[in-house]
Copies of this chain bind each other. A is one copy, B any other.
Amino acid sequence: MADHHDIPALIADMGQRARIAARTLAQMPTEAKARALRAAAGAIRAAAPAILDANARDMAAGAANGLSPAMLDRLKLDERRIDGIVAGVEAVAALPDPVGERIDARTRPNGLHLSRVRVPVGVIGIVYESRPNVTVDAAALCAMAGNAAILRGGSEAVHSNRALHAAFVEGWTAAGGPADAVQLVPTTDRAAVGAMLAADGLIDLLIPRGGKSLVARVQAEARVPVLAHLDGINHVYVDASADRAMAARIVRDAKMRRTGICGAMETLLIDAAYCHPAELVATLMKAGCTVRGDDAVREIVPGLEPATPEDWDTEYLDAIASVALVEGVDGAMAHIAAHGSHHTDAIVAEDAEVAERFLRQVDSAIVLWNASTQFADGGEFGLGAEIGIATGRLHSRGPVALEGLTTYKWIGRGAGQIRGGTSG
**In the docked arrangement, what's the CA distance between A375 and B120, Å?**
24
Question: Known: A110-B417, A393-B122, A398-B366. Is A98-B227 also a contact (CB below 8 A)?
Answer: no
Q: Verify B145–A405 contact, CB threshold 8 A.
A: yes
**In the docked arrangement, what's the CA distance between A65 and B390, Å?**
48
Q: Verify A396–B398 contact, CB threshold 8 A.
A: no
**In the docked arrangement, what's the CA distance between A376 and B115, Å?**
13
List 14 additional A-B contacts (Cβ < 8 Å) besides A98-B402, A99-B406, A227-B404: A23-B363, A100-B360, A108-B380, A112-B417, A113-B414, A114-B382, A204-B393, A205-B394, A225-B393, A225-B394, A386-B404, A395-B397, A397-B409, A399-B410
Least Cβ distance of A123 to chain B in Å? Answer: 10
Q: Chain B residues with Cβ under 8 A from A371's Cβ?
A: 112
Residue from A388, A393, A408 whose CB has the most chain B CB atoms within 10 Å: A408
Q: Verify B111–A407 contact, CB threshold 8 A.
A: no
Q: Cβ of A144 < 8 Å from any Cβ of B?
A: yes
Q: Verify B400–A117 contact, CB threshold 8 A.
A: no
Q: Verify B401–A409 contact, CB threshold 8 A.
A: no
Copies per assembly: 2
Q: Chain B residues with Cβ under 8 A from A117's Cβ?
A: 408-409, 411
Residue of B nearest to A27 (CB): B361
Q: Cβ of A210 < 8 Å from any Cβ of B?
A: no
Q: Chain B residues with Cβ under 8 A from A398's Cβ?
A: 365-366, 381, 389-390, 408-410
Q: Verify A113–B413 contact, CB threshold 8 A.
A: yes
Residue of B nearest to A409 (CB): B119
Least Cβ distance of A418 to chain B in Å? Answer: 9
**In the docked arrangement, what's the CA distance between A93 and B112, Å?**
26
Q: Chain B residues with Cβ under 8 A from A27's Cβ?
A: 360-361
Q: Chain B residues with Cβ under 8 A from A384's Cβ?
A: 401-402
Q: Verify A413–B112 contact, CB threshold 8 A.
A: yes
Q: Cβ of A54 < 8 Å from any Cβ of B?
A: no
Q: Please list the residues of chain A having a beta carbon within 8 angstroms of any beta carbon in chain B.
A: 23, 26-27, 92, 95-100, 103, 106, 108, 110-122, 124, 141-142, 144-147, 204-205, 207, 225, 227, 337, 360-361, 363, 365-366, 371, 375-378, 380-415, 417
Q: Chain B residues with Cβ under 8 A from A111's Cβ?
A: 414-415, 417
Q: Which of the residues B114, B121, B365, B375 comes within 8 Å of A411, measured between beta carbons?
A: B114
Least Cβ distance of A210 to chain B in Å? Answer: 15
Q: Verify A363–B409 contact, CB threshold 8 A.
A: no
Q: Verify B390–A141 contact, CB threshold 8 A.
A: no
Q: Verify B410–A386 contact, CB threshold 8 A.
A: no
Q: Verify B114–A412 contact, CB threshold 8 A.
A: yes
Q: List 13 A-B contacts (CB under 8 A).
A: A106-B381, A111-B417, A114-B412, A118-B407, A119-B409, A120-B406, A121-B405, A121-B407, A145-B403, A365-B398, A376-B399, A383-B403, A390-B397
Q: Chain B residues with Cβ under 8 A from A414's Cβ?
A: 111-113
**In the docked arrangement, what's the CA distance between A412 and B110, Å?**
12
Q: Chain B residues with Cβ under 8 A from A92's Cβ?
A: 402
Question: Known: A112-B414, A382-B108, A410-B114. Is A142-B397 also a contact (CB below 8 A)?
Answer: no
Q: Verify B389–A401 contact, CB threshold 8 A.
A: no
Q: Verify A402–B363 contact, CB threshold 8 A.
A: no
Q: Chain B residues with Cβ under 8 A from A147's Cβ?
A: 405
Question: Known: A389-B400, A390-B400, A400-B388. Is A405-B363 also a contact (CB below 8 A)?
Answer: no
Residue of B nearest to A118 (CB): B406
**In the docked arrangement, what's the CA distance between A421 and B12, Å?**
45
Q: Which of the residues B145, B365, B395 comes within 8 Å of A402, measured between beta carbons?
A: B145
Q: Which of the residues B99, B103, B387, B408 comes within 8 Å of A397, measured between beta carbons?
A: B408
Residue of B nearest to A143 (CB): B405
**In the docked arrangement, what's the CA distance between A100 and B382, Å?**
22
